[in-house]
């Protein structure tokens, strides 16, 4: 088992290894979580798959387990779901010395984390990610929240978990498309901060434990330097600005991972056009790495179309866009760019 300390204002550990689910309660006790009640928040699919194992593991360590499942899917990452969780917490008489457990993908983690951030002005919570995306990204770093009708992740709070338990046997058995979703973020870590990891991914030489461990270490390093997203943490948006525009243009028929994948390739094209990219052939290498994990490289929209979709809600970034562009493999930088200049470059792509 691997242990990584996430050094935020309230430090915690991420444990990564096989079959950790069955000892979840033991690891929570070891992390100093003294609660009497442990309230598991999950979606219906994940609760059916893993709820019993986690509940038994919590009971074995002396916690009284409760469960609440919401219907799976992004469309349930809402204030209504959080309200339902809060009401159920009240009914179960959960106090500030109890603990919440987010069991599932990024949606369960985000809604449970947000409920934990605001219930009684903040209670402890534990992340047990069951998708690759949640393991390598959303379970670490303390961003929690929900979508609003006006857009994704518009309401939320920073609230760090007390422990992250990542059971790699659960992740390895994910359906292929869900595994690919997470791999888009994994390839991103290699591109922005770790050339050796990128090479390993290109060659297909990394197993799930290795992938999760290196990704979590990379994210932890960035979060440590910028917990509240005012600087370096923006690096994690690599591929996301262009990717999100493509997702929007596709009417969200394109998945987030697909958007990030082709958004990263588009960022390479942008950086080639402006001379920012210093490594010849990097775009081709990225495309092959993405293909290995069944992720697309080709953007079905023109630069002009993407730019229009990006700047639709101009008030978000004013006159400047913080583009994240690659310099070479393992190194990306945040480039504040006048919106006008960005538009001129994208017109050519
Ligand atoms: N907080 C953050 O820092 C952060 C970072 C990145 C993404 N996110 C958020 O994460 C969400 C996406 O996460 P996601 O892709 O995990 O989506 P998700 O939580 O909806 O999970 C995807 C689907 O997989 C199912 N599932 C989960 N684990 C499974 C397993 N082991 N086996 C079979 N099926 C399983 C779920 O029931 C669901 O239907 C988005 O809402 C996004 O905004 C948050």
Position 313 scores a pLDDT of 65
Angle CA 290–76–122, to nearest 5: 100
State the pLDDT confidence band at 35, using cuts at 50, 70 and 90.
very high
Pocket of ligand 1 (CB under 6 A): 43, 45-46, 49, 72-74, 77, 104-108, 110, 130-131, 133-134, 137-138, 141, 143, 152-153, 170, 174, 178, 181
Question: Is the pLDDT confidence value at 247 over 60?
Answer: yes
Position 92 scores a pLDDT of 98
Residue whose CA lies nearest to ligand 1 atom number 5? 138
Question: Is the pLDDT confidence value at 317 over 70?
Answer: no
Domain 176-347 in CATH 1.20.1090.10: yes
**Which whole number is the average pLDDT over 163-179?**
94
Question: Is the pLDDT confidence value at 314 over 70?
Answer: no
Q: Which of 138, 179, 222, 259 has most ligand 1 atoms within 8 Å of CB, for mutation?
A: 138
Q: Which of 46, 137, 216 has most ligand 1 atoms within 8 Å of CB, for mutation?
A: 46
**Which whole number is the average pLDDT over 36-42?**
98
Q: Which of 128, 133, 164 has most ligand 1 atoms within 8 Å of CB, for mutation?
A: 133
**Which whole number is the average pLDDT over 274-289?**
97
Position 318 scores a pLDDT of 78
Are residues 141 and 193 in contact, defined by beta-carbon separation less than 8 angstroms? Answer: no
Question: Is the pLDDT confidence value at 197 over 60?
Answer: yes
Determine the Cα–Cα distance for residues 79 and 186; give it in Å rounded to an integer: 29
Which alpha helices (H) appear in the chain, and where do they start and end?
Answer: 24-30, 44-60, 79-91, 106-118, 132-133, 168-172, 176-193, 195-203, 208-225, 240-249, 256-274, 282-292, 303-310, 339-347
Give the distance from CA 120 to its chain's centroid: 26
- CATH for 2-172? 3.40.50.1970
State the pLDDT confidence band at 173, using cuts at 50, 70 and 90.
confident
Are residues 141 and 110 in contact, defined by beta-carbon separation less than 8 angstroms? Answer: no
pLDDT above 90: percentage of residues in the chain: 96
User: Which pTM value belongs to this model?
Assistant: 0.97
State the pLDDT confidence band at 312, using cuts at 50, 70 and 90.
confident
State the pLDDT confidence band at 157, using cuts at 50, 70 and 90.
very high
Question: Is the pLDDT confidence value at 255 over 60?
Answer: yes
pLDDT above 70: percentage of residues in the chain: 99
85-119: pLDDT as tens digits: 999 999 999 999 999 999 999 999 999 999 999 99
Domain boundary assignment for the chain: 2-172, 176-347
């Amino acid at each position: 088992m691997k242990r990584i300390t996430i050094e935020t204002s309230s430090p915690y550990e991420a444990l990564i290894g096989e079959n950790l689910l069955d000892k979840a309660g033991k690891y929570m006790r070891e992390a100093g979580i003294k609660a009497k009640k442990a309230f598991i928040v999950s979606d219906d699919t994940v609760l059916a798959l893993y709820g019993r194992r986690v509940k038994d593991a919590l009971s074995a360590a002396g916690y009284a387990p409760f469960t609440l499942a919401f219907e799976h899917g992004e469309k349930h990452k809402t204030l209504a779901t959080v309200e339902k969780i809060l009401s159920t917490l009240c009914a179960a008489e959960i106090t500030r010395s109890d603990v919440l457990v987010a069991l599932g993908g990024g949606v369960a983690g985000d809604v449970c984390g947000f409920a934990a951030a605001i219930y009684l002005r903040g209670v402890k919570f534990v992340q047990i990610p069951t998708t690759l995306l949640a393991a390598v990204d959303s379970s670490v770093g303390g961003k929690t929240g929900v979508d609003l009708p006006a857009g994704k992740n518009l309401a939320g709070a920073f609230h760090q978990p007390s422990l992250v338990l990542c059971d790699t046997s659960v992740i390895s058995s994910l359906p292929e498309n869900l595994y690919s979703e997470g791999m888009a973020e994994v390839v991103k870590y290699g591109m922005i901060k770790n050339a050796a990891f990128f090479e390993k991914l290109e060659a297909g030489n990394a197993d799930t434990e290795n992938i999760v461990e290196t990704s979590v270490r990379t994210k932890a390093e960035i979060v440590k330097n910028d917990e509240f997203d005012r600087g370096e943490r923006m690096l994690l948006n690599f591929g996301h600005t262009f990717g999100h525009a493509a997702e929007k243009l596709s009417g969200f028929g394109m998945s987030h991972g697909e958007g990030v994948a082709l958004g990263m390739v588009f960022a390479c094209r942008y950086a080639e056009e402006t001379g920012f990219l210093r490594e010849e052939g990097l775009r081709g290498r990225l495309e092959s790495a993405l293909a290995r994990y069944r992720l697309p490289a080709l953007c079905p929209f023109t630069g002009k179309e993407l730019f229009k979709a990006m700047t639709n809600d101009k008030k978000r970034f004013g006159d400047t866009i913080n583009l994240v562009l690659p310099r070479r493999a393992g190194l990306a930088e945040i480039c504040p760019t006048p919106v006008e200049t960005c538009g001129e470059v994208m017109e050519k792509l």
